[in-house]
Amino acid sequence: MKTIATFIVSFLCLCQLIYAQQPPLKFNMDGTFKIVQFTDIHYIHNNPESAISIERINEILDAEKPDLVVLTGDIIYGNPAKEGLLYVLKQISDKRIPFACTFGNHDDEQGLTRAELYDIIKTVPYNLTATTEGLSGVTNFILPVKSNAGNKDAAILYCIDSHAYSSVEGVDGYDYIKFDQIQWYREKSKSYAKQNGGHPIPSLAFFHIPLPEYNQAATDETAILIGSRKEKACAPRLNSGLFAAMKEMGDIMGMFVGHDHDCDYAVLWKGIMLAYGRYTGGNTVYNNLSNGARVIELTEGEKGFKTWIHLKGNEIVNRIKYPDDFIKKDD
């Protein structure tokens, strides 16, 4: 009996430890929920050029104290892949902040596959990254954010694998988000709306490679664009229809990508905010913008959010309130 009792106590302690290391996401007492987006860290383990990326990550986490960190791809850019990935994630995990990753086009070029990288991520405390079996890609998962009372889903975060390079004959450039992924999103969105009395739940989407609509929006003279656009969006040459699906479902308020290091803008397109994170990496690849991160703050019960760019020395630029700052005032 003593042995059984000891086993039960040990099991309960283990469950509490796992629960503490994978805490549920929920809005705070003041009604807010803060996300920090790190993107394109391009970390190379033990490379001095990567030191600035680690410095910025810690500076921003200490200042913003987010409820969640989302890393939108190209976390690593050299060998050893495992050590580099673990070192980056350790900066977040050591601060006991939940985090989630979506892969970029460079992550699996360092000797490990996406599946192998995912298995490594799963071992890190406070990881919320998951996978959906049967879907194209690896990092396709959903993070519901509960109300402060914990009795309902108050916001939904869709994390999607945007793959790497085109495999379609005669089409070069980057890959597109696949039709099965889009159908998965549509079904989940419909299910969440049904649970919410038929009303879409305010949602955000995170992935690495921007959609073709980023170039449409950024070059439209009637669109309001806030931030830096120093290069064209390196989007897929083929449009698989994710944006149209999101418009139809009516839940996505904004999407957040990386990939293009010289962009950190946000632009409204057909009612959805298309945004870049701020390049977070060091000098291991091209960058003409100083490194930092995008911060997103949701408020429970509101269809809208605030966002800003956090830079070195706790400098804050490009504060935006969606949708208010994109509404044109009458002359």
Q: What is the mean pLDDT of each run of 10 residues along the chain (331 residues)?
A: 51 45 88 98 97 98 98 97 98 98 97 98 98 98 96 97 96 97 98 97 98 98 96 98 98 98 97 98 94 98 96 98 87 45
Give me the pLDDT at residue 150, please: 85
Give me the pLDDT at residue 21, please: 67
Give me the pLDDT at residue 3, please: 62
Give me the pLDDT at residue 2, please: 52
Contacts of 326 (CB under 8 A, 6+ apart): 224, 268, 273
- Residue 211 and residue 274 in contact, taking contact as beta carbons nearer than 8 Å: yes
Q: Is 146 exposed, middle or buried (0-12, 13-18, 19+ CB in 10 A)?
A: middle
**Closest to 32 measured CA to CA, from 328, 305, 281:** 305
pTM: 0.93
- Residue 165 and residue 174 in contact, taking contact as beta carbons nearer than 8 Å: yes
Please report the DSSP string for 289-324 in residue order. S--EEEEEEEETT-S-EEEEEEEGGGEEEEEEEETG
- Please, what are the domains in the chain? 29-326 (3.60.21.10)
Residue 32 main-chain phi, psi, to 5 deg: -105, 160
